[in-house]
Amino acid sequence: MKDFAGRTAFVTGGANGVGIGIVRNLLERGAKVAIADIRQDAIDRALQSLDNREVMGVQLDVASRDGFKAAADAVEAQFGPVSILVNNAGVNLFQPIEESSYDDWDWLLGVNLHGVINGVQTFVPRMVERVKAGQQVGGHVVNTASMAAFLAGGSPGIYNTTKYAVRGLSESLRYSLLQYGIGVSVLCPGLVKSYIYASDDIRPDGLKAQMKAVDTAAVERLAGVHEFGMEPDVIGARVIKAMEANRLYIFSHPDHKDELREVFDYILDHYQDYPKDPGFDQRVAFEKFRRDAFADARAAGRADFPDDGAFLNLNTPDDLTRAEALIRGAA
């Protein structure tokens, strides 16, 4: 995406942390921005600090589908159609899976994963319909994951799970929206100067029955660590640059590059050389078809958007028929 001026952007978790950094950078590019956040007091502080007529706030629990629709309708009524969606709201729980409850799972999945799903389900169909009708050119979706989408440890276990899922959702959505000229990026930041360490403050009352007592000493230690996190405005600027370049992955923190390489080497080391089994050649024929289709999609994503959906995505009857023919030919 090259043109931000005049577009309407919707940013969840937009009142602080990464969200406010993205909001500021979008406003600098001339976009109209809606800040969606669960805390009205945080929205009020953000709006006061921005002092910009092209920004509005809307209180939203991203886990609520009805709330998302109401927020979308309100924003589009005031600012016009949303063509930039930033699903950024997130919470964390710094504990391992074996010490977690169903309430813990419901809370983090509700915000970190279902919040992204709700944003996509609310806005993307609207974007696609407008593109089809010639009422919108392009658009972009940014989903905030984390380096935890690649680097998983024992804790925070549920958080890691949600971020891996957001990464997978974003990768799939990226290729399905190429044909409409709508970009998709997944933001994978490292440590950020934010208040995510205090997520318990906004935990819904209905999901507190099984929660562990808050370790205030641990929260204070995490607060100290986050003071060294990347400034939100720095991340926001890098997000804008990545959108302009239509990058799928936004790695805002270069300090993780070597570790990421180590992780992928570790994964590849787990492959074993097994003898051929029945059906091997047929599978390889199909996988080559799929691999070529994915490579075409990646190439299309790096270049200008295709206007004819010419690359293969295995979603059409014709593509599946061709794949079946290749498999039979290998038999």
Q: What is the pLDDT of residues 181-219, one digit of tens each?
A: 999 999 999 999 987 877 888 899 999 899 888 777 776
Tell me, what's the pLDDT at 205? 93
Please tell me which residue, 309 or 256, carries the higher pLDDT value: 256
Say how far apart CA 162 and CA 327 lie, in whole Å: 35
How many residues does this entry show for the chain?
A: 331
What are 228's strand-pairing partners?
none
Average pLDDT, the chain: 91
Say how far apart CA 232 and CA 109 lie, in whole Å: 24
Residue 306: pLDDT above 80?
no
Q: What are phi and psi of 192, to 5 degrees?
A: -125, 145
Q: What are phi and psi of 304, to 5 degrees?
A: -65, 150
Say how far apart CA 262 and CA 253 lie, in whole Å: 16
pLDDT, tens only, 111-133:
999 999 999 999 999 999 999 99
The strand order across the sheet containing 8-12 reads: 55-59, 32-37, 8-12, 82-87, 139-144, 182-187, 249-250
Active site residues: 159
**Residue 222 corresponds to which amino acid?**
L
| For the chain, domain boundaries | 8-255, 280-329
Residue 307: pLDDT above 50?
no
Contacts of 263 by beta carbon, 8 Å cutoff, 6+ apart: 150, 151
Q: Where are the beta strands (DSSP E) in the chain?
A: 8-12, 32-37, 55-59, 82-87, 139-144, 182-187, 249-250
Burial classification of residue 108, based on how many CB atoms lie within 10 Å of its CB (0-12 exposed, 13-18 middle, 19 or more buried): buried
Residue 310: pLDDT above 50?
no
**DSSP count for the chain of H helices, then E strands:** 11, 7
Which of 323, 319, 320, 302 shows the shortest CA–CA distance to 249?
302
pLDDT grade for 301, boundaries at 50, 70 and 90: confident
| 0.75 exceeded by pTM | yes
Please tell me which residue, 58 or 212, carries the higher pLDDT value: 58
**Which of 74-78, 165-169, 208-212 bottoms out in mean pLDDT, i.e. has the lowest?**
208-212
Say how far apart CA 21 and CA 184 lie, in whole Å: 19
Q: Which CATH number applies to 8-255?
A: 3.40.50.720
Say how far apart CA 171 and CA 150 lie, in whole Å: 13
Pairing mode of beta strands 8-12, 82-87:
parallel
Say how far apart CA 119 and CA 111 lie, in whole Å: 11
pLDDT grade for 312, boundaries at 50, 70 and 90: very low
